[in-house]
A and B are shown apart, each in its own frame.
Chain A
Amino acid sequence: MKNTFRGGVHPDGHKGLSRDSRLRPFDPKGEMVFPLSMHIGKPAKPVVKKNDEVKVGQLLAEADGFISAPVHSSCSGKVKAIEKRRVLGGGMAECIVIDNDGQFTPFADYTQRLSAEELSNQEIIKRVQEAGIVGLGGAGFPTSVKLQPKNPEAIDYVIANGAECEPYLTCNDQLMRIHSNEIVEGLDLVLRLFPNAKGVVCIEDNKPEAIEAMRIAASDRPRISVRTMVTKYPQGGERSLIQAVAGVDFPTSKLPADVGCVVQNVGTLYAIQRAVLYGEPLFSQCFTVTGEAVANPGNFMVRVGTSYAELLEAAGGVAEGKEIRKALSGGPMMGIAIGSLDIPIQKQNNGMTLLAEDPVEEAEALMTSCLRCGRCTVVCPMGLSPSLMADAAIAGDLERYEKKLYGMDCIQCGSCSFACPAKRPLTPTFKQAKAEIQEKKKREGGGQK
């Protein structure tokens, strides 16, 4: 019996483009750009100055507060500047720019396996924190914070997220096929922090090789099991996985830890294994370059700070006779459209999808009024009523949107927009409505003080 959640959609996977391209390292030649904020929380504080010599794995900026993460260099060379550069999302942000010498001289020996037997829980968390590990599934929440819930005994499940429900992306698939033992070791380290938890690796059934590899790797560990999930978007969403594994639904006002779950992406678990057992900070991650406009789609172990444009060249550049119509960081369901490829790859990015045709452009031409057909209600993994929420948001009735329609519980997975036959831009509407409500609350809260 396969596990799944309620609702969801079935976008075309397009995973065949890159799923069998073996994960391979890529060493860039150009300058490397390290944004100080590649995570949720306060930006890191630089500890290097212009013209400083740095090596691979050296600390560039330290965490500023509890919810923050340090930044490490992924190349060796000289600090060229600390300045505002264009980053993902279109805005300018403070970045450390390094002139890459192409030598990749390591700062420390990251090949020596350290002993982890006598490490205390605090030391494990400290190593994760110092390695600058953030959630590699896309959100970029500092992992060390996630590993320190109020009551570690109350955690029932540590869920390793290998669902990779986002269309096009295949790097987690490759990572699980090649580094299954490392991921299982990483999960085992996390399980040490939660004495009563079971480890569950969740993989969609369209990745049989990864399921097999993970099963073999986990076979001698009684606390870890591998579960096959139904291929359905957003199966890899935190809440979808918890629904499927623990059977709990919880509002967005609560965290997974509140319902006894910790969810970690398989990429994050791999980084934890590297950090705790080898002392290697997070400066590279698995990454898929794919899409119809790419000549040779593939999976790479990519260094943080590499530019999207340079990595595209490594994948053979733009396919002959094709033109990039739309470039996405991530996959098409939750990815961010990028206007220019000259921006750095950040820690939490896991792929770029270059589309030769823009489905949104086509959809906008077909847009009609809302038919109230109810498809959005059927597919919403949270059980919301998107068509009514859109009515309220457009009418400016944010009171109804928030209180009566539970609009703040939208996780912006995009399923409603995807399913809408009238091609209404539902998800962006909700994003805006949520932002407005939060803004209003902040204003009112400030006014009272």
Chain B
Amino acid sequence: MNTMLNLSASPHVRDKWTTPFIMRMVTLSLMPATLVGILVYGWNAFGIVALSVITAVAAEWLWCKACKKPSTIWDGSAVVTGLLLALSLGPQTPLYLPVIGSVFAIVVCKGCFGGLGKNFINPALAARCFLLISFANAMAIKPVVDAVATATPVGAMKAGEAVNITSMFLGTADGVIGSSILALLIGGLLLWSLDIIHGEICFSVLIGFTLFLGLFGGKGFDPEYLLAHLCGGGVVMGAFFMATDYVTSPVSRLGQFIYGCLIGVLGGLFRLKGNTADSFSYAIIIGNVCTPLIDTYIVQKPFAYRKVVGKTRKTSKEPFRIPKPVIALTLIAAIAGVALSGVFSMTKDTIEEQDKLAQAAAYSEVCPDAKSFTFSDKVQEILGDEGIDQGNAHINACYIGKDGSGNVAGYALSLSAKGFGGDMVIALGLTPEGKIIKISFTEIKETAGLGMKATEPEFKDQFGGKGGTLTLVKGAASAENEISAISGASITSNAVTDAVNAGLEFYETVLKGGI
């Protein structure tokens, strides 16, 4: 044997896991949330993700060049940092912000401290906080999905408004790009089931946060309240993807648990008392900063030095364990199912109530003398659940308006007719004698400037005081039961008149004869 053989210290074999493998798995687990974000928020979201990732990798490459170190872009950590940063930005963020953020994350937070494994705060999170503080206005999340809403769900919650948990859960509410809780949970539980992230951290964060809000939130353990807070403000993203960052979290199990609880409690405290919706990021940053302290003082004792509980010797058996992937899949299914059904059942009553309130307002408007509205058994029998067709229109519902002393003060009918832009719904108020009090539109989608003129007083006030059967005329109305059509919108005018006529006919055939 003259050839020189390789020498090395034992062990001489290595596991298949590598740093790039872990980073690839983290990237993969972020894909569901990224895709949902891009699908919901559109191209700008895609631009932010792409720019952020590309800039992060480019910054890493340049930094290595500048430091004359071997390039570390292939370890995949820059991709993860860029992706995490992008997912924690709003979809309407100006495109220069992800660029600035990525450079800050890679160069200032990571490179300056010695690269991968040496940074003391999570680079993506630190970059996000840097952007939040330095570019507060540009970073404000502008509504994309719900044009009427003025705040993100967490902002709304802080203002005491109701939020739609289902859309927050699915990621269709306004928020950051990676705000789909379902997608984040799928990715997070995947990582947990592969033992890539530590359950000690992510679950203690969630539990700490929930317990704190339950105890001090003032609403007790109201599931709707807690779910709304858990689904918003980056709690799930923080718990599964930010707090679990290896480099900035403790090594020992106990340390990880303490760290997780600290973040959960601080996150809850900031959420309740702080004045920003982004408080969870700050909670994790504080947790990161505490990590070296935790690692210095909390070191797990070797088995041999641990106290044995009781005197009986316990031998280790191979316990029957449900494989983690099975637990993760079950959890995802259960969470999705419970969340969707729970949210539906919780919001069902509210939605119905809201609808009734809106209708009541419309009926009060067209029948102002009535103090309350009731149904009549006889009328309901005729209308059924679906209502009936009458002439060219449809009668949806009929309410009997009562005055203070219980006498009939008028009738309120809900009528539908086919307009130019689709179905319109009209509320028609009638006096006990069958004269029109007023009409109003609960739903109308006509052409602006033409059909929409139906909602203007000039047209709709013509109906007041009229009765019998109305006819539509072009130009000025001359007779008692004539209605002047809107010029250029005959279909709309016809539909309204048809609907009103149907209501009047219903009065003649049903209501007039007594209820």
The reply to whether B252 and A377 contact each other, CB–CB distance below 8 Å, is yes
Chain B contacts with A in 10-24, Cβ cutoff 8 A: 10-15, 17-22
Given A333-B10, A362-B14, A366-B19, output 13 extra A-B contacts at Cβ < 8 Å.
A325-B5, A334-B10, A338-B5, A360-B14, A366-B20, A372-B251, A373-B196, A377-B253, A384-B302, A409-B302, A415-B11, A418-B14, A422-B19
| Contact call A418/B11, Cβ cutoff below 8 A | yes
Question: What 0/1 readout, one digit per residue, does chain A (417-449) give for beta carbons within 8 Å of chain B?
Answer: 111111101011001000000000000000000
Supposing A3-B318, A309-B1 touch, asked if A360 and B6 sit within 8 A by C-beta, the answer is: yes
Within 8 A of B (CB), among A273-331: 309, 323-328
Stretch at the interface among B87-95, B132-140, B309-317, B372-380: B309-317
Is the beta-carbon distance between B14 and A245 smaller than 8 angstroms?
A: no
Kindly state the separation between the CA atoms of A214 and B411 in the bound complex, as whole angstroms.
96
Q: Is there an interface contact between A249 and B8, defined as CB atoms closer than 8 Å?
A: no
Checking B4, B13, B300 against A167 with a beta-carbon cut-off of 8 angstroms, the contacting residue is B13
Chain A residues with Cβ under 8 A from B75's Cβ? 368
Q: What's the minimum C-beta distance from A29 to chain B, rounded to whole angstroms? A: 18
Give the interface of B toward A (CB within 8 A): 1, 3-15, 17-22, 72, 75, 114-118, 195-196, 198, 246-247, 249, 251-253, 256, 295, 299-306, 313-318
Establish whether residues B304 and A341, one from each chain, have CB atoms under 8 Å apart when the complex forms. Answer: no
Chain B min CB distance to A73 (Å): 25
Interface residues on A, range: 35 or more
| Closest residue on chain A to residue B8 by CB atoms | A360
Interface centre among B18, B301, B316 (most CB of A within 10 A): B316
Name B9's closest neighbour in chain A (CB-CB).
A428
Q: Which of A90, A359, A421 contacts B22 (CB 8 A)?
A: A421
Q: Which residues of B contact A337 (CB under 8 A)?
A: 5-10, 12
Report, nearest first, the 5 A-B pairs whose CB atoms are least far apart.
Answer: A414-B11, A369-B117, A247-B313, A249-B303, A247-B315
CA distance A427 to B13 in the complex (A): 12
Q: Is A150 an interface residue (CB 8 A)?
A: no
Instruction: Report the separation of the CA atoms of residues A283 and B286 in the bound assembly, to the nearest whole angstrom.
Output: 65
Do B316 and A326 touch across chains, with their CB atoms under 8 A apart? no
CB-defined A-B contacts under 8 Å, sample of 28? A4-B318, A247-B313, A249-B304, A323-B3, A324-B3, A325-B5, A337-B8, A339-B5, A339-B7, A366-B20, A368-B75, A369-B114, A371-B19, A373-B246, A374-B251, A377-B251, A382-B302, A382-B303, A383-B304, A385-B300, A387-B251, A388-B295, A406-B301, A412-B10, A414-B11, A417-B14, A421-B15, A421-B21
Can you name the residue of chain B whose Cβ is closest to the Cβ of A366?
B18
Interface centre among B8, B195, B249, B299 (most CB of A within 10 A): B8
A67 beta carbon closer than 8 Å to chain B: no
Tell me which of A246, A324, A417 contacts B315 (CB under 8 A): A246
Residues of A3-35 contacting chain B, CB below 8 A: 3-6, 9, 11-12
Tell whether A247 pairs with B316 under 8 Å between CB atoms, given A337-B7, A385-B252, A417-B11: yes
Docked Cα-Cα span, A7 to B6, in Å, equals: 30
Please give, as numbers and ranges, the residues of chain A lying within 8 Å of B300 by CB-CB distance: 377, 383, 385
Report which of A4, A405, A428 forms a contact with B316, defined as CB distance below 8 A. A4
What distance in Å separates the Cβ of A187 from its nearest Cβ neighbour in chain B?
Answer: 20
Cα distance, A422 to B13, chains bound together (Å): 14
Contact B12 A355 (CB under 8 A): yes
Asked whether any CB of chain B lies closer than 8 Å to the CB of A370, the reply is yes
The answer to whether B304 and A245 touch across the interface, beta carbons within 8 angstroms, is no
Distance between B94 CB and nearest chain A CB, rounded to angstroms: 33
Give which listed residue, A342, A370, A405, contacts B299 with CB less than 8 A.
A405
Task: Assess whether A361 is in contact with B304, with CB atoms less than 8 Å apart.
Answer: no
Residues of B within 8 A of A102 (CB): none
> Would you call A250 and B251 a contact (CB within 8 A)?
no
Given contacts A339-B5, A342-B1, contact A383 B306 (CB under 8 A): yes
Chain A residues within 8 Å of B14, by CB? 359-360, 362-363, 417-418, 420, 423
Which residues in B have their C-beta under 8 angstroms from that of A370?
117
Is B304 touching A372 in the complex (CB atoms < 8 A)? no
In the complex, residue of chain A having the shortest beta-carbon distance to the beta carbon of B297 = A404
Contact A371 B247 (CB under 8 A): yes
Residues of chain B within 8 A (CB-CB) of A420 are 14-15
Residue in A230, A338, A372 whose beta carbon sits within 8 Å of that of B117 in the complex: A372
Q: How distant is A396 from chain B, measured CB to nearest CB, in Å?
A: 16
A243 within 8 Å of B (CB atoms)? yes
Q: Which residues of A contact B252 (CB under 8 A)?
A: 377, 385
Q: A326-B12, A332-B11, A418-B11 are in contact. Are A371 and B116 (CB under 8 A)?
A: yes
Residue contact A325 to B299, C-beta cutoff 8 Å: no
CB pair A425–B9 under 8 Å, yes or no, is yes
CB <8 Å contact, B4 and A383: no
Asked if B12 contacts A374 (CB within 8 A), the reply is no
CB distance from A4 to the nearest CB of B (A): 5
Residues of B contacting A388 with CB < 8 Å? Answer: 251, 295, 299
A9 to B246, CA, bound (A): 20
- A48 within 8 Å of B (CB atoms): no
Is B18 in contact with A246, judged by CB distance below 8 angstroms?
no
Establish whether residues B299 and A385, one from each chain, have CB atoms under 8 Å apart when the complex forms. yes
Closest to A377 in B: B251
Closest residue of chain B to A404 (Cβ to Cβ) is B299
Q: Which residue of B lies closest to A240 (CB)?
A: B316
Given contacts A383-B303, A418-B15, contact A427 B10 (CB under 8 A): yes
Residues on B with beta carbons closer than 8 Å to the beta carbon of A404? 299
Given contacts A1-B318, A246-B313, contact A336 B22 (CB under 8 A): no
Given contacts A251-B305, A360-B6, whether A369 and B118 have CB atoms under 8 Å apart is yes
Best-surrounded residue of B3, B17, B118 (most CB of chain A within 10 A): B17
Q: Are B18 and A423 in contact (CB under 8 A)?
A: yes
A427 to B251: give the CA distance in the assembly, Å: 18
Inter-chain contacts of B19 with A (CB < 8 A): 366, 368, 371, 421-422
CA distance A427 to B10 in the complex (A): 7
Whether the Cβ atoms of A5 and B316 lie closer than 8 Å is yes
In Å, the complex CA distance between A7 and B10 comes to 19
Q: How far is the CA of A357 from the CA of B274 in the complex (A)?
A: 59
Asked whether, in the complex, the Cβ of B315 is within 8 Å of the Cβ of A244, the reply is: yes
Q: Is A92 at the interface (CB under 8 A from chain B)?
A: no
Q: Which of B6, B253, B304, B306 contacts A325 (CB 8 A)?
A: B6
Please give, as numbers and ranges, the residues of chain A lying within 8 Å of B301 by CB-CB distance: 383, 406
Q: A333 contacts which of B11, B21, B117, B305 (Cβ < 8 Å)?
A: B11
Contacts A371-B246, A383-B304 given; does A324 touch B13 at CB 8 Å? no
Question: Which of A360, A361, A414 has most chain B Cβ within 10 Å?
Answer: A360
Chain A residues whose C-beta falls within 8 Å of the C-beta of B318 in the assembled complex: 1-4, 230
* Shortest Cβ distance from residue A155 to the other chain B in the assembled complex, whole angstroms: 15
Complex Cα–Cα for A419 and B22 (A): 13
B12 and A335 contacting across the interface, CB-CB below 8 Å: yes
Tell me whether A340 is interfacial, beta carbon within 8 Å.
Answer: yes
How far, in angstroms, from A245 to B317 measured CA to CA in the complex? 9
